């Protein structure tokens, strides 16, 4: 059996169910792999400053956040990769011209172009965002990630003018009008590459679970990759394995396939 050393878990739709709870089987699976000495990372589009309660509940201390732009290992920063100010400004201008809202994430705050719009307050509630403030151009140079809100199906094409950037639809019920802004060069896959290199772990000793298209690169950079049964239909081609849904012990069943849980 392979000597697995690290497990990367997406949060929404992978670890956390649509009702914002975590299955007991998932908690048990995480506990069992941790007991084997496997380091568990949360690998998410969410800002890391909002994960304290979730991390405490699962006894997790390592993270890749902002879709690969910031990593922490056992409480210590590994790297931060802010976006280009020009990209941030360009996307803000397109959003303003088309009636979209933008969430910009720094390493300490969630910054919104509108704090009171109903789709924004719904977004804050769904993703448990508490450290929120109104947008100011002074933060453009420290933006680690962005989410576009209130888009129609045809709207992502408006943002395709920027080279090296693509949009990934948020794979969460009620939030599919939201799109994460993903850099081709900085994404969850890039974050995993950096983490594995810095920790001296080979690709074959790593495992990842995801459900959304922002997990595509992550699943390609590990030895054992699992797409959740509830995953985006386009994601399955990038995963080595398909497991059950987030509401049907998907993480537990995937780890059981590898012989890591009982």
Domain shared by 155 and 208, yes or no: no
Check whether residue 150 and residue 226 sit in a common domain. no
Angle CA 163–169–172, to nearest 5: 155
Q: Same domain for 38 and 159?
A: no
Q: How far is residue 166's CA from residue 156's CA, in Å, rounded to a whole number?
A: 9
Whether residues 165 and 214 fall in one domain = no
Which residues form the domain of 102?
A: 85-183
Q: Do both 93 and 178 map to the same domain?
A: yes
Q: Record the pTM.
A: 0.90
| pLDDT number for residue 161 | 78
Residue 262, domain member (yes or no): no
The predicted structure's pLDDT at residue 61: 97
CATH number of residue 216's parent domain = 3.40.50.1000
Q: What is the pLDDT of residue 247?
A: 97
pLDDT tens for 241-257 read 999 999 999 999 999 99
Please tell me whether residues 69 and 199 are part of one structural domain: yes
233 in any annotated domain = yes
Please check whether residues 124 and 175 belong to one and the same domain: yes
1 in a structural domain: no
195 in the same domain as 229: yes
Are residues 167 and 190 both part of a single domain? no
For the CA atoms of 73, 75, 78, 81, what is the dihedral angle to 10 degrees?
A: 120
C-alpha span between 182 and 125 (Å, rounded): 23
How many other C-beta atoms lie within 10 A of the C-beta of residue 84?
A: 15
pLDDT at 133: 97
Of the residues 183, 199, 216, the one at which a domain ends: 183
Q: How far apart, in whole angstroms, are the C-alpha atoms of residue 189 and residue 206?
A: 12
What Rg do the C-alpha atoms of the chain give, in angstroms?
17
User: How would you list the strands of the sheet with 62-65, edge to edge?
Assistant: 76-80, 70-73, 62-65, 39-43, 6-9, 206-210, 224-227, 241-242
Q: What is the pLDDT of residue 163?
A: 81
127 and 190 together in one domain = no
In a domain, 43, yes or no: yes
Residue 108 lies in a domain: yes
Same domain, 169 and 229: no
For residue 169, is it within any domain? yes
Q: Are residues 214 and 178 in the same domain?
A: no
pLDDT of 118-162, one tens digit each?
Answer: 999 999 999 999 999 999 999 999 999 999 999 999 999 999 877
* Residue at which a domain ends, from 148, 183, 218: 183
> Does any domain span residue 91?
yes
**Pairing mode of beta strands 76-80, 241-242:** unpaired
Domain boundary among 138, 163, 183: 183
Write out the chain's pLDDT in tens, 262 residues.
579 999 999 999 999 999 999 999 999 999 999 999 999 999 999 999 999 999 999 999 999 999 999 999 999 999 999 999 999 999 999 999 999 999 999 999 999 999 999 999 999 999 999 999 999 999 999 999 999 999 999 999 999 877 899 999 998 889 999 999 999 999 999 999 999 999 999 999 999 999 999 999 999 999 999 999 999 999 999 999 999 999 999 999 999 999 999 9
Residue 208 domain-assigned (yes or no): yes
Domain count across the chain: 2
CATH code, domain with 140: 3.30.1240.10
pLDDT at 160: 84
Measured CA to CA, the distance from residue 13 to residue 176 in angstroms comes to 13
């Amino acid at each position: 059996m392979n000597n697995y050393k690290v497990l990367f878990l997406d949060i929404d739709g992978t670890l956390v169910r649509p009702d914002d709870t975590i299955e007991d089987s998932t908690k048990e699976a995480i506990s069992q792999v941790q007991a084997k000495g496997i380091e568990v990372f949360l690998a998410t589009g969410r800002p890391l400053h909002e994960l304290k309660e979730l991390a405490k509940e699962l006894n997790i201390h390592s993270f890749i956040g902002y879709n690969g732009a910031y990593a922490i290992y056992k409480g210590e920063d590994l790297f931060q990769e802010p976006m280009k100010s020009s990209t941030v400004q360009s996307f803000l201008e397109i959003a303003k011209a088309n009636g979209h809202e933008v969430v910009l994430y720094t390493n300490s705050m969630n910054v919104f172009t509108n704090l009171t719009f109903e789709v924004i307050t719904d977004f804050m509630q769904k993703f448990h965002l508490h450290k929120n403030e109104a947008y100011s151009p002074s933060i453009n140079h420290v933006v680690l990630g962005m989410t576009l809100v209130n888009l129609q199906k045809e709207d992502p094409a408006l943002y395709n003018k920027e080279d090296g950037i693509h949009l990934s639809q948020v794979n969460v019920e009620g939030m599919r009008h939201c799109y994460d802004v993903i850099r081709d060069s900085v994404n969850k896959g890039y974050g995993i590459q950096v983490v594995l290199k810095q920790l001296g772990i080979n690709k074959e000793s790593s495992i990842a679970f995801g459900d959304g298209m922002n997990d595509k690169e992550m699943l390609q950079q590990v030895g054992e990759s699992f797409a959740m049964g509830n995953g985006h239909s386009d994601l399955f081609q990038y995963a080595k394995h398909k497991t059950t849904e987030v509401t049907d012990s998907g993480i537990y069943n995937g780890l059981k396939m590898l012989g890591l849980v009982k």
